[in-house]
Amino acid sequence: MHSFPQPALALVEQMAAAAAADPARAVALQGAPGCNSHRAALEYAPDCLPLPCFSFEDALDAVKEGRAARAIIPIENSQHGRVADIHFLLPESGLFIVGEHFLSIHHSLMALGDGPFAAAYSHPQALGQSRRYLRERGIVPMAYADTAAAAALVREMADPQACAIAPKIAAELYGLKVIDNNVEDAVDNTTRFVMLARQPLVPASVAGEAAMTTFVFEVKNIPAALYKALGGFATNGVNMTKLESYQKGASFSATMFYADIIGAPGDPAVDRAIAELEFHCKEFRPLGTYRQGRARG
């Protein structure tokens, strides 16, 4: 699959034309119209022009090429952890995080008919988040590129035994019947999105506000390097809310770390902690400082 199902393509073309006419308002996103990233874009910036893209790479390229001022990308889910590949894509994109948004995830089961249903199509994350619901009804989960595209596929297939798990808005866009709402297994299912742009926010622009700073780093290949590198955050009272590792290259000899901290450069405690981190690092790359979308702690 290298494109969206036909029912989604007409909507994509309309939205792409609107974005091309006003790139400053355009927000690139991965997924067909009606996906959760579409919802997140409209919640974060109600006056934006969503630009649906087939892949995360396509959405990032739209910003790099100037076809959209920003991109909104899901980075982690409360039930399923980090979104696959995003920690590789963000540092290499050359873009910066300029905001974050937390979206409550509510899935609906939708179809052309009333069932019973043999298979449910959706993104693997959505299928995993609705695992119990599907198992209890004997519906086989079928992975697809994204939630809303799965709804468009069900419309295109015209198979009465097929259904999709997608945001409720997708049923409206693709002429499907909502069979059941809130089919997610956890009532507090939430996805965190980050807003990306070509230029970072100046840390001084968030002075006095609750802020986050995100960066990636690789420590020197010596004993206790990570312990020493992180010690400055403890001694300076800087709260690190996320620390995740991923392999750099295929040698498995270099590990990169992705981190979020509360605070912004310019705060003496943050500056001291980052200076100590850099002393013990082979590589340090800031990905952005931005306002908190939700209070931590």
Beta bridge partners, 242, equal 260
For the chain, where are the alpha helices, taking DSSP H only? Answer: 6-21, 36-44, 56-64, 86-93, 124-129, 131-137, 147-157, 168-174, 225-235, 268-279
Sheet of strand 240-247: strand arrangement: 240-247, 255-262, 211-219, 281-291
Q: Among this protein's residues, is 257 annotated catalytic? A: no
Instruction: State the CB neighbour count (10 A cutoff) for residue 213.
Output: 23
Q: Which of 4, 117, 193, 257 is catalytic?
A: 193
Structure tokens at 40: 């997140």
- The secondary structure of residue 110, as a DSSP letter, is E
Instruction: State the CB neighbour count (10 A cutoff) for residue 84.
Output: 12
Phi, psi of 205 (to 5 degrees): -70, -15
Q: Among this protein's residues, is 96 annotated catalytic? A: no
Q: Which of 4, 96, 147, 191 is catalytic?
A: 191
Return the active site residues: 191, 193
